[in-house]
Structure 1
Amino acid sequence: MEWYERLADYFPEHEMKDPRQLYDLIEDKDTYHKEETDEYIVMYAEFPTFIFIDYLLVNPATRGKGVGTKLLNRFKEKGKTIIVEVEPIDHEDEDTKKREAFYRKNGFVKADRIQYRRKDEDGKPYEMNIFYWSPEDLPQNVIMEKMAKACEEIHNFRSKKYYGRKLADPDEVLKFIKH
């Protein structure tokens, strides 16, 4: 699974799913898809009303040439809300700034009313930001409902088998912040 190695080389370890879980998602979950070319790898779930992008990796040799934007535009043409998880900016890590800038440049908005905290294998908490693009104006509580579905159906798919626990119990990892 060369594609898994490529993803694991790029994404932080705590964000990577067990390769067997990813294989099960691809093989057994009708909503989950993997596309791989020389230019990119994208793994995503397509639901009736939204798309959850689990992993998006543009080949370093083709970054900055519009590959990622073309891919996102292809998803946007489906007319569904698109949700991604993005690491918070770490001023020590230039890639975190580039990732957030990439999504913002492509019309994604940070769901600033959704707190998303998960735990790694050792039980250490980490935070992720939810970014979304939508063809219609959606309130963030609706985005949170969609993210809860992604947690339940994608992150938690056979997670007890591979991790002995739910990876992202929506009731524990998602919190709506009222202004």
Structure 2
Amino acid sequence: MNNIKDVPVPSYYRKLANYFPAHEMKHAHQLQALVEDVPYYGLMETGEYLVLYGDFAEFLFIDYLLVNRDQRGSGVGTRLLQRLQSRNIPILLEVEPIDPNDVDTKKRRRFYERNGFALAQGVQYEREDRHGESYTMDLLYWSPSQKISDDRVLHMMTTVCRRIHNYRAMQFYGRIPAQPEEVLSLVR
């Protein structure tokens, strides 16, 4: 049996790691195991974009979405989201809070808002990175029919934590990084 350190890092992981903050990145081999072993976890990669997502019966979860740098602003991301929205089930994703000192956070938020996503204002989501440093993520959702309640967003994100973020977590982190009862809460 191969030692986990001997397994090469997939090319899609390197692309994501060059764009996303380190604290938002899963362990390379956890992500690879999700892609290769989990039937509800998908990877779509073209010359224009890369998306990794959880495909559950009741909703989709966008784990990572990356439009190649030379394709940004051309409508590729919108067409991709429209393709996912055509499934006619809610879509959930995490995005960093807007940082006034980081124009990219504002651009990402505007992109999702232009494509019909709304902030789940009543759900707080705070995790720790690999080094135990706390960070907050906002949860955005899109629904084909109506506003989604905070309770439903919490339920969907609990599923994501258990079935994606914590997938084989003890093997890769030596701990459970996204225990729903600890990282998610309703703000009333």
TM-score range, shorter chain: over 0.9
- Alignment counterpart, residue 144 of structure 1, candidates 128, 131, 154: 154
Q: Does 1:75 align with 2:84?
A: yes
Tell me which residue corresponds to 1:44.
Answer: 53
Q: Does 1:15 align with 2:20?
A: no
- Alignment counterpart, residue 131 of structure 1, candidates 140, 156, 167: 140
User: What number of residue pairs does the alignment pair up?
Assistant: 178
- Cα deviation, 1:92-128, whole Å, max 9, x if unaligned, reads 2111111101000000000000000000112111000
Q: TM-score, normalised by structure 2?
A: 0.93
- Alignment counterpart, residue 122 of structure 2, candidates 102, 113, 116: 113
Counterpart amino acid of residue 175 in structure 1: S
Query: Pairwise CA RMSD of aligned residues?
Result: 0.7
Tell me which residue corresponds to 1:32.
Answer: 41
Structure 2 Cα separation of the partners of residues 52 and 74 of structure 1: 14
- Cα deviation, 1:62-109, whole Å, max 9, x if unaligned, reads 000110100000111101100010000111211111110100000000
**Displacement after TM superposition at 1:136 (Å):** 2.5
- Cα deviation, 1:19-77, whole Å, max 9, x if unaligned, reads 11011101111000111111000000100010000000000100001101000001111
Secondary structure of 1:34's match? strand
Gaps of 5+ in 2: 1-9
Tell me which residue corresponds to 2:174.
Answer: 164
Gaps of 5+ in 1: none
Structure 2 Cα separation of the partners of residues 135 and 153 of structure 1: 24
- Alignment counterpart, residue 89 of structure 1, candidates 98, 109, 126: 98
Q: Does 1:55 align with 2:64?
A: yes
Moved over 6 A (4+): none
Tell me which residue corresponds to 2:184.
Answer: 174
